[in-house]
Amino acid sequence: MLGKTITVWLLSLAAVLPMPTRATEAIFSGGSFWVMEALFAERPGVTQITAGWVQGGRSTLRRQAVRLEYDPVQISYGQLLTLYWAAIDVLDGEGQFCDRGREYSPALYVQTPLQQRYAQQSRAKLQLELGKRVRVRILPAGSFTPAAARHQQYYRQHPWLYGGYRRMCGYPAGERFTLSTLAGGPIATSAQ
């Protein structure tokens, strides 16, 4: 009887207390990691952003990328994808804007089957809408190496230099994008 009472009490307590959420990771490569970092910075639910490089293996190239930690209750992977697709040139697989070369080529690095599915579905939807091949690769997440401290939060450390670079290079001001203005974007935004 006492065991049953304790079990009922614990179950009722679990229903009242918020369950701790585990941060989820996502890795995006879309040209300069400074620009990608600014795109996702200060978004509700994005808890940490690290600029760095991703390398999928010995023979694959190294790309500038950002690794995000986010709370999927506050912002979904689908919403992150919607921001990403809006901020890059999806038809350019050889770099982004003035940043040329394979280090700046766009790629989505997926870590789970769900991320794989949503990345593929959103890319397919974009290709149908544009009637052209989207040149963003979808790859398994490789090793991530953080960039030096001088590259972290560059947009905040050097706002004038960053703003001039972004404008001169042709990058859109992605940090000004809102999910409400991008509603109906390339994927359903409820995906985690």
At 51, which CATH number? 3.30.1060.10
Q: Let me know if residue 83 belongs to a domain.
A: yes
Give one word for 29, left, alpha or beta, with left for phi > 0 and alpha for psi -120 to 50.
Answer: beta
Q: Let me know if residue 190 belongs to a domain.
A: no
| Candidate from 18-22, 73-77, 128-132, 188-192 with smallest mean pLDDT | 188-192
How far is Cα 27 from Cα 5, in angstroms, rounded to an integer? Answer: 46
User: pLDDT of 60-103, one tens digit each?
Assistant: 679 999 999 999 999 999 999 999 999 999 999 999 999 999 99
Give yes or no for a contact between 95 and 31, defined as CB atoms under 8 angstroms apart. Answer: yes
Q: Let me know if residue 165 belongs to a domain.
A: yes
Q: Let me know if residue 181 belongs to a domain.
A: no
User: pLDDT of 102-132, one tens digit each?
Assistant: 999 999 999 999 999 999 999 999 999 999 9
Q: Let me know if residue 88 belongs to a domain.
A: yes
Asked if the model's pLDDT at residue 12 lies above 60, the reply is: no
Pairing of strands 137-140, 107-110: parallel
Q: How confident is the model at residue 179 (pLDDT cuts 50, 70, 90)?
A: confident
Q: Let me know if residue 143 belongs to a domain.
A: yes
Q: Let me know if residue 135 belongs to a domain.
A: yes
Residue range of the domain that includes 111: 21-176
Q: Let me know if residue 186 belongs to a domain.
A: no
pTM beyond cutoff 0.85:
no
- Mean pLDDT of the 17-36 span: 80
13, burial (CB in 10 Å: exposed 0-12, middle 13-18, buried 19+): exposed
